[in-house]
Amino acid sequence: MADEPKVPPQPTVPGEPPANRPAAEGGGVVPPSASVEKPAEAAPPGGAAPEGGSASPPIPPSPAKPPAPAKPAAAAPPKPPAPPKPPVKPDPWESPLLEELKKKFPGEIADPIIFRKQPSITVNKESLIAICEFLKSDAGGAYSYLADETAVDYPKREKRFDVIYELYSFKGNDRLRLKVLAADGEKIPSVVGVWPVANWLEREVFDMFGILYEGHPDLRRILLPDEWVGHPLRKDYDILRQDKAWVQANLHIESGQ
């Protein structure tokens, strides 16, 4: 057999298979274009890039969708308004004290009523002092305290004023209201001799309503100036048109300004 020509050895490059290397079996030659498969490299944990490469940014998780808003509940139909309560009316008043007053002062007591647990009687002005003295005594209930004295104006009535006395008994822990009717300009007996505190209370009633008290020791205004014209708590008194002359002279402004 003729000698086969010898191929000189080719230099090898590291990492590349030698060219024209005989096959392990069969005596063939590996062509230079053939490539040797490399084992696949495992991806590094945690998304790290392999050596010599760049790391790709991690993909953030998609945000959770907010829950859909709940539909508002249907509004309840409005409740019908409550019917108005009937007005409270006074009831007739009966008591042993009332019977005693009627016996001692026949014909001088009228309209005995009780309203919201407080009794009230109307008395004639001629018997006012005697009735008050009896009520202040122990036999009359010991109403030793005149809690208030005031008035109410009913301008359409002939006797337009209700003069009101609020009495209190510490002994019995109860109250009693007296009323006396008076016309405009009519004098009412002063009760200062029975309850000294009436001195200032009657001055205020005179100042605000113009009611005159017979027997009062010092009946003059207590809130307004002495020269003031008119009485502010009368229903026919215009609060915006006060005493023009006094306002102009003392305050130097127009009345009602």
Share of the chain above pLDDT 70, in %: 75
Residue 228 confidence (pLDDT): 86
Q: Which of 27-31, 101-105, 241-245, 247-251 has the lowest mean pLDDT?
A: 27-31
CB 179 within 8 A of CB 121: yes
For residue 174, CA distances in Å to 99, 118, 128 come to 17, 8, 20
Alpha-carbon torsion 214, 219, 222, 223, what sign? Answer: positive
Confidence (pLDDT) at 24 = 44
Residue with tokens 């409550």: 82
pTM: 0.66
Q: What is the mean pLDDT of the chain?
A: 83
How many whole angstroms separate alpha carbon 95 and alpha carbon 21? 142
- Tens of pLDDT along 59-87? 777 777 777 777 777 788 888 888 888 88
**pLDDT classification of 26: cutoffs 50, 70, 90:** very low
More reliable by pLDDT, 99 or 255 = 99
Query: Hey, what domains does the chain have and what are their CATH numbers?
Result: 91-196 (3.30.460.80)
Is the predicted pLDDT of residue 19 greater than 80, yes or no?
A: no
Residue 199's nearest CA partner among 220, 216, 221 is 216
Q: Which amino acid is at 196?
A: P
User: CA-to-CA distance for 102 and 110, rounded, in angstroms?
Assistant: 9
